[in-house]
Amino acid sequence: MAPPDLLTATAHQLERALAEGKASSTQLVTAYLGRIAKYNPFLNAIISTAPTSSLLSIARHLDQERADGHVRGPLHGIPILLKDNIATRHALGMETTAGTFALVGSVVKQNAPLVTQVGAFRQSAASRGSWPHHTWQSQPQCESSAASRDFPDPIHISNSLLTHVSGFWMPCGWSAVGGLTQSPYVVGGKQWDDGFGGHSSCGGSSSGSCVAVAAGLAPLSIGTETNGSLLMPATRNDVYTIKPTLGLIDASGIVPICREFDSAGPIAHCATDIAYLMDILVNPELSAHVPPGGYQSQLTGSLEGLRIGVLDPREWHLPTVESDILEAYGKLTIAVAEVRRVQLPSLDGLEVDGMSHIARVMNSGFKTDVEGYLAGPQSSTVRTLDDLMQFMTDHADQEFPPEAIDECLQKHNVDVILGPADSELDDYYCVAGYPMAHLPLSSSKHSLRPFGMCAMASECQEGLLVRVTSGWEKTVQTSRQLPKPGVPARQELA
């Protein structure tokens, strides 16, 4: 029987192949490790993989469980990838470096809670996934960077690349440990002279996590977001993702950039796989925010009855993709009850002296600078960065404008706001701590790489975003943008 095409395979499709006996977990692990060995030397998406002997032992055990009629959940025996800023115990065979040599050799005391949750679900007969997963770690990158890990689910396999720890001045996709992550869509690789996040960049900081899924090095991954760190690489690599409401997924054990913004999130080829992971990743103490029946219950494949507010792409200075976006809006008009043109309030108040407050909070050099200034005034209610951050937290309604999203939703009586992903929309959901979903759409006529749309909703509306993702997949984005001929990840299909 023909093996699954790993470049295009979703976890849902692999689940079906396993259930029908068309593939085994052992075969999947071997095949994904083969793809990593073949394509990662160019892509630099994955920093490390767990020992092959351990992964194959786990895979054989899961295959035997399946043969014995014990299937732990829909991700039983399927590989999954983790960003390398998510802590995993040394016993799993991978370090947690966040892409910096400063953390090479460091030993964490325990797994990050989200890793433990994935493992627990793998072990439970009624769970969504199974332990052990096969795991890899994906590469972190500079600002938009966060280290990642690849895990075959339910087997953790490797760590993926991240960017931020290295500094704002390095290009998206860079980490000292893993090098520069390359886009599987850009022939010739990253052009160093086109800026931090220029057209040839794969985006970041969850660079490796998104590139690995796009290139078929893993069917699923878990990345992290601070300010666009999931959205930017997702839209440039034609993958789905959700950045959940701040705090919905436990961020403990994740190397931080800024706790006021940081969140983990799932990355996949389809809405079903996003729902699978969301059902596992949510902090159990916050399960009241999960829809009855879990996120999988929201996989309706329909947008009917939703009220969608759409932003005018011409106002976001993206001339090469305007026609595709407007065409997508037309499809939505046919598929849903109401599509309304909306406008978001300005965030100009978040910028001082040419630099946003978001960037100031995230900038690692900010502490010294701001405390030097705060020591100067004859009188002040704050003297240290900790004082300042506490004040901003205590007065969040004044300091940050979450009402920008809520105001738009309520003013226009819509359920969700939709606009271009490769834009500044990340500032809106970032400062609010609200959820976001990326919806792949098409490819840019200028750069030829993928681009998509950003869907934003109010607090704890991840279920709504899963429904939107599911409906979008059936209505608008009906086929993937595959890596281009000439790019290594695509060569084998020639």
107 is a domain residue: yes
DSSP string, 214-251: HTTS-SEEEEEESSSTTHHHHHHTT-EEEEPSTTSS--
Instruction: Report pTM.
Output: 0.87
**Is residue 478 domain-resident?**
no
Residues 412 and 326 in one domain: yes
Block mean pLDDT (10 aa), the chain, length 494:
82 96 95 94 92 92 95 91 90 84 84 85 28 48 35 56 51 86 88 79 93 96 94 96 97 83 96 97 96 97 96 87 94 89 79 60 54 62 74 61 84 97 92 95 86 97 98 90 67 41
Per-residue confidence (pLDDT) for residue 192, from 0 to 100 = 72
Same domain, 378 and 265: no
Fill in the DSSP letter of residue 88. Answer: -
Per-residue model confidence (pLDDT) at position 247: 96
Same domain, 232 and 366: no
Same domain assignment for residues 315 and 285 = no
Residues 355, 342 within the same domain? no
274 plus 387 within the same structural domain: no
CB atoms within 10 A of CB 366: 15
Q: Token digits for 174? A: 């860079």
Do 126 and 62 fall within a single domain? yes
pLDDT at res. 337: 72
- Output the six-digit token pair for 248: 């919905």
Q: Looking at the domain assignment, is residue 487 inside a domain?
A: no
Which residues form the domain of 389? Answer: 350-399
Residues 417, 372, single domain; the answer is no
Domain count of the chain? 3
Position 378 in a domain: yes
CATH of the domain at 321: 3.40.190
**DSSP-derived 3-state class of residue 8:** coil
Provide the pLDDT for residue 311.
Answer: 97
Are 343 and 310 in contact, with CB atoms under 8 Å apart? Answer: no
Q: Which of 312, 242, 307 is nearest to 278 (CA)?
A: 242
Question: Which helix (H) or strand (E) element contains residue 71?
Answer: none
pLDDT given at position 199:
81
Whether residues 34 and 86 fall in one domain: yes
Instruction: Examine residue 302 and state whether it is found in any structural domain, yes or no.
Output: no
Residues 266 and 369 in one domain: no
CATH code at 72? 3.90.1300.10
Residues 6+ apart with CB under 8 A from 451: 235, 236, 321, 324, 420, 421, 422, 441, 442, 443, 444
Domain check: are 130 and 190 in the same one? yes
Helical (H) or strand (E) element with 392: helix 385-394
143 and 279, same domain (yes or no): yes
